[in-house]
């Protein structure tokens, strides 16, 4: 596979997961007028890049944003202790936890434990992070809104071990 191909897959996977790093990578795609089945395993995934994630996170894209639906979809699996950096979404993000136990935190608020079946809404512009519990992996399906220019995330600083230890404290109290 060429470097160019790898780069294109990389940005497509990041964009579907609501992690596009620039506007050009998240433009809406035209859609076809016939029902389209994407078989399991047919859409290349990627590991969350080190500058945006702490620990190991695997991104599996599901569908891109389109002219009809202004949001993309992806599964993201975090190994125990792994998490995103702090970030905001210009059009918000829905999170559906599909496996395991994790945490999410809004800036200035306590850490919240999330588990299978829980649904989280992150409103536009709200600074937050999400990831796995310290002792459990966590998978969530994300549906991430994108603005008219295709932007779906603004990345901020990484979540420090000290910040994440607040999550561990919460866990120990439960």
Per CB under 8 A, the list member of 23, 44, 45, 63 interacting with a copy of itself is 63
Provide the β-strand partners of residue 128.
87, 106
**Between the CA atoms of 130, 136, 141 and 143, what dihedral angle is there, to the nearest 10 degrees?**
-10
Residues binding a copy of itself: number (CB under 8 A): 46
Provide the β-strand partners of residue 129.
105
124 belongs to the binding site for a copy of itself (CB under 8 A): yes
Does residue 9 sit in helix, strand or coil?
helix
40 belongs to the binding site for a copy of itself (CB under 8 A): yes
Per CB under 8 A, the list member of 126, 134, 156, 170 interacting with a copy of itself is 126
Q: Compare residues 7 and 58 and give the one whose CB is closer to a copy of itself.
A: 58
99 belongs to the binding site for a copy of itself (CB under 8 A): no
Per CB under 8 A, the list member of 48, 81, 92, 131 interacting with a copy of itself is 92
Which of the ranges 6-14, 93-101, 157-165, 166-174 carries the binding residues for a copy of itself, by CB under 8 A?
93-101
Q: How many other CB atoms are found less than 10 A from the CB of residue 45?
A: 17
CA atoms of 48 and 131, how far apart (whole Å) = 12
Q: What's the start-to-end Cα distance of the chain, in Å? A: 48
For residue 118 the two structure tokens come to: 């829980």
Q: Contact positions toward a copy of itself, by CB under 8 A?
A: 31-41, 43, 62-63, 66, 68-71, 73, 91-92, 94, 96, 98, 104, 106, 109, 112, 114-126, 128, 141, 143, 145
């Amino acid at each position: 596979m060429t470097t160019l191909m790898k780069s294109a897959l990389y940005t497509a996977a990041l964009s579907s997961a609501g992690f596009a790093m620039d506007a050009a990578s998240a433009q809406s795609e035209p859609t076809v007028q016939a029902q389209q089945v994407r078989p399991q395993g047919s859409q290349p995934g990627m590991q969350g890049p080190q500058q945006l994630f702490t620990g190991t996170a695997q991104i599996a894209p599901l569908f891109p944003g389109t002219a009809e639906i202004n949001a993309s979809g992806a599964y993201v699996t975090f190994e125990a202790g792994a998490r995103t950096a702090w970030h905001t979404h210009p059009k918000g993000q829905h999170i559906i936890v599909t496996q395991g136990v994790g945490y999410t935190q809004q800036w200035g608020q306590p850490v919240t434990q999330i588990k299978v079946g829980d649904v989280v809404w992150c409103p536009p512009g709200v600074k937050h992070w999400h990831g796995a519990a310290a002792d459990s992996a966590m998978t969530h399906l994300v549906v991430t809104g994108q603005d008219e220019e295709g932007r779906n995330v603004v990345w901020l600083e990484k979540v420090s071990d000290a910040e994440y230890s607040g999550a561990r404290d919460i866990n120990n109290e439960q």
